[in-house]
């Protein structure tokens, strides 16, 4: 199994063009299953989750073409063989495979899928999705490692759903479903993250009527005659945060281009309180300087527009270099502190109080060690820790990282990092 080998101590300097967001790519690509017409996507990142999803579409019989050099993907889901969904091993590799449920159920009336895989960052059960479909009148059965769902529009139980939590993927799944049926559905306590908004705007472009985008109440009137078209993915704010933290920690100077600042305001607030030197420019962010960092009393993750859980581990690494004691309060997932155990191997001083709260004491010099990725964002955090740590760091289980970071080591090396991929 491959790993990253990093020699710490090099400042990162240069420019980074931020690609399309992973969290937008997956639901938007799944929206192509709602129509028989061609869908063309621009600004698509070349990451393993996208490749796996496209391979799954190909197995089902969709016409798939991609040119990652130009970041373009074309999908025509004209004739599909749904039996491939339950027999495919690809669905087990990624959490996002559950997003095929909504569009295929709307289009065909019944679907059977494999239990999805992905990162283990907490109790992300399928209950929020399935309860919502059941509330609308769907019949659901779970047998072994598969989920079967059928829906008869004549037995529409309710035309509304109140989610038990503001789940991003459940919101996207139900929005995809509602856009493809001839009725109006109200979704309450919906997620409002930018990638959810981008998915809803795509559904509008395809012909669905969607109101309440960016709020916690979506009203969707769907149609069986959704069209194809051309769609552009929004930039990946989590990548912006990753490179920004890397620039600050290595005392470098990075200009990040293709940035949507609106989704990063809570992150910028944390950087400002810590003392990171950054300048917000038009569609760009510059991070630089030799500043000293100060601990902050608490960082608390929350649903959008609160501080994003996907940046919690990255900022956690930054807090190890801040003077004083900081508290992290992870409100969304109960297994996102695995990286702190790995940071301890590198010399960090941390105290995990419970699955949702941890203290970090700094500044503490980090040193090289053999560490591993426990999930996508934790893996990226360990790479960033390796960039600032003295000596050699080896980060294993990098398959998690490659699910969401396009050519991560190549991009970091181009910016001055001493990092290489080693095949065992």
CA-to-CA dists, residue 122 to 22, 192, 331, 356, angstroms:
19, 21, 11, 11
Check if the beta carbon of residue 84 is closer than 8 Å to that of residue 55: no
CA-to-CA dists, residue 365 to 138, 341, 351, angstroms:
55, 16, 17
pLDDT in tens, 85-98: 777 677 766 777 89
What is the value of pTM for the model shown?
0.93
Q: 374: helix, coil or strand?
A: coil
Provide the residue count of the chain.
424
pLDDT in tens, 336-372: 899 999 999 999 999 999 999 999 999 999 999 999 9
Percent of the chain topping pLDDT 90: 83
Res 291: pLDDT: 83
User: Domain spanning 3-18+235-422: which CATH class is it, in words?
Assistant: alpha beta
According to DSSP, the residues that pair with 354 across neighbouring strands are 357
* 200 part of the active site: no
Mean per-residue pLDDT for 150-179? 90
- Could you please report the per-residue DSSP string of 303-338? STTSB-GGGHHHHHHHHTTSBEEEEEE--S-SS--H
Give CATH 3.65.10.10 domain extents, the chain: 3-18+235-422, 22-232
CA-to-CA dists, residue 40 to 33, 45, 80, angstroms:
12, 14, 18
Q: Does residue 262 surpass a pLDDT of 50?
A: yes
User: Domain spanning 22-232: which CATH class is it, in words?
Assistant: alpha beta
* Pairwise CA distance, residues 4 & 418, whole Å: 10
Residue of 30, 39, 119, 200 with catalytic role: 119
Res 95: pLDDT: 72
Closest to 79 measured CA to CA, from 30, 33, 114: 33
pLDDT in tens, 305-323: 999 999 999 999 999 999 9
Q: Does residue 421 surpass a pLDDT of 90?
A: yes
Q: What does DSSP say about strands 298-300 and 324-329: parallel, antiparallel, or unpaired?
A: parallel
Check if the beta carbon of residue 216 is closer than 8 Å to that of residue 166: yes
Residue 122 pLDDT class (50, 70, 90 cuts): very low
Cis peptide before 363 (omega within 30 of 0): yes
Residue 83 falls in which region: left (phi positive, over 0), alpha (psi -120 to 50) or beta? alpha
* Pairwise CA distance, residues 107 & 150, whole Å: 11
């Amino acid at each position: 199994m491959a790993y990253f080998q990093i020699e710490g101590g090099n400042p990162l300097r240069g420019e980074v063009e931020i690609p399309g967001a992973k969290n937008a790519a997956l639901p938007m690509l799944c929206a192509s299953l709602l129509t028989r017409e061609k869908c063309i996507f621009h600004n698509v990142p070349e990451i393993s989750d996208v490749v796996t999803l496209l391979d799954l579409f190909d197995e089902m019989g969709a016409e798939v073409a991609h040119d990652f050099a130009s970041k373009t993907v074309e999908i025509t889901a004209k004739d599909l063989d749904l039996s491939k969904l339950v027999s495919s091993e690809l669905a087990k590799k990624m959490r996002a495979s559950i997003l095929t449920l909504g569009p295929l159920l709307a289009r065909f009336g019944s679907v059977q899928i494999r239990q999805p895989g992905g990162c283990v960052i907490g109790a992300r059960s399928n209950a929020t999705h399935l309860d919502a479909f059941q509330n609308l009148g769907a019949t659901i059965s779970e047998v072994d490692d598969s989920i079967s769902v059928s829906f008869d529009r004549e037995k529409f139980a309710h035309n509304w759903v109140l989610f038990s939590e503001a789940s991003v993927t459940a919101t996207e799944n139900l929005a995809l479903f509602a856009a493809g049926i001839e009725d109006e559905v109200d979704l309450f306590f919906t997620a409002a993250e930018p990638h959810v908004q981008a998915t809803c705007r795509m559904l509008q472009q395809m012909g669905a009527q969607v109101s309440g985008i960016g709020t916690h109440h979506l009203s969707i009137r769907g149609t069986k005659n959704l069209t194809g078209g051309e769609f552009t993915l929004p930039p990946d704010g989590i990548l912006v945060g990753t490179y920004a933290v890397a620039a600050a920690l290595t005392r470098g100077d990075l200009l990040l281009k293709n940035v949507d600042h609106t989704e990063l305001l809570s992150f910028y607030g944390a950087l400002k309180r810590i003392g990171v030197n950054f300048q917000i420019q038009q569609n760009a962010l510059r991070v630089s300087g030799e500043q000293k960092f100060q601990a902050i009393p608490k960082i608390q993750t929350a649903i959008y527009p609160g501080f994003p859980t996907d940046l919690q581990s990255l900022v956690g690494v930054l807090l190890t270099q801040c003077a004083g004691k900081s508290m992290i309060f992870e409100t969304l997932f109960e297994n996102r502190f695995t990286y702190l155990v790995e940071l301890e191997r590198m010399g960090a001083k941390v105290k995990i109080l419970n699955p949702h709260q941890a203290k970090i004491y700094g500044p503490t010099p980090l040193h090289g060690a053999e560490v591993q990725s426990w999930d996508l964002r934790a893996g990226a955090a360990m790479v960033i820790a390796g960039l600032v740590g003295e000596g050699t760091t080896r980060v294993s289980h990098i398959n998690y990282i490659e699910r969401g970071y396009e050519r991560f080591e190549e991009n970091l090396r181009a910016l001055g990092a001493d990092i290489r991929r080693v095949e065992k």
